[in-house]
Amino acid sequence: MNKSGKRIVKSFDSAASRYDAAATLQKQVAAELVSFVSDATPQTILDIGCGTGLATVCVNEAWPEARLTALDAAPSMVAATRRKLPEVQILVGDAAQVPFLPGTFDLVLSSMIGHWLSDPVQAVEAWKEICAPRGRMAVSLPVEGSLAEWKELCREAGVIDRLWPFPKASLFSGTGLCSEVRSYPRTYESAKAFLKSMKDTGADNGNPDKPPMRPADLRRVLRCSPKPFTATYQILYLHL
């Protein structure tokens, strides 16, 4: 795992105790992700990047008899999932290098973590490999166009937005997976509240190729921001 990846893991690890209260979008996306494969009858399931177990819980409820494994790189997130699902095998591991043989799982899922990986398309292809023949797969991640309101707000204030570079949805067109993008507008009391929600979910890592935003620049952006403030996520669903 590179330096950027370690920094991301550290952010999520430190946010584990606050995550569930702030992760309303992640909870909604996890439930909708499972709905894409609700007709599956898997005996073995893998949840990649399980976080605090939002998708893991949905999966466990949908297929209580299946043998479920979950994996995340942040130890505190893994601990939170273990407290919710003590009977499930939950491992600390890198989503970009899943330690399983090809064809191991009837169903592979990953919700809202692929965009943090250095090569999300390569990761999706690797996850396909661990699906059993005629297995199923479902992945969700935010893509380019997400948080356009924040980008515009920064542009109007003459400040570099420093948002994480979300991948283009079109990058996944060669994976052989069905795809659909859905929009999720979220309204916050203020832009400051929006930024707090990002921090509380560990998702406040900025683009490592852009300079950090200076406190004076941030104050200028916040002064220009409307109340309430709406930020829209564009979520790509991939499924097999």
Q: Encode pLDDT of 30-51 as tens digits.
A: 999 999 999 999 999 999 999 9
The residue ranges of every structural domain in the chain are 3-144+166-185+234-239
- For domain 3-144+166-185+234-239, the CATH superfamily is Vaccinia Virus protein VP39 (3.40.50.150)
> Half-sphere exposure (CA, 13 Å, Cβ side) for 11?
16
Q: What is the pLDDT of residue 3?
A: 77
Q: What is the pLDDT of residue 13?
A: 92
String of DSSP letters for 33-60 = HHHTTTT---SEEEEES-TTTHHHHHHH
Q: Encode pLDDT of 84-134 as tens digits.
A: 999 999 999 999 999 899 999 999 999 999 999 999 999 999 999 999 999
Residues 6+ apart with CB under 8 A from 209: 165
Question: Cβ atoms within 10 A of the Cβ of 153, count?
Answer: 21
* Segment 73-76 long-range contacts (CB within 8 Å, at least 24 positions apart): 73/1, 73/5, 73/9, 73/12, 73/49, 74/9, 74/10, 74/12, 74/13, 74/16, 74/202, 75/13, 76/12, 76/13, 76/14, 76/16, 76/17
Q: Write down the pTM of the prediction.
A: 0.94
Q: Encode pLDDT of 174-196 as tens digits.
A: 999 999 999 999 999 999 999 99
> Half-sphere exposure (CA, 13 Å, Cβ side) for 153?
25
Sorting pLDDT into bands at 50, 70 and 90, what band is 135? Answer: very high
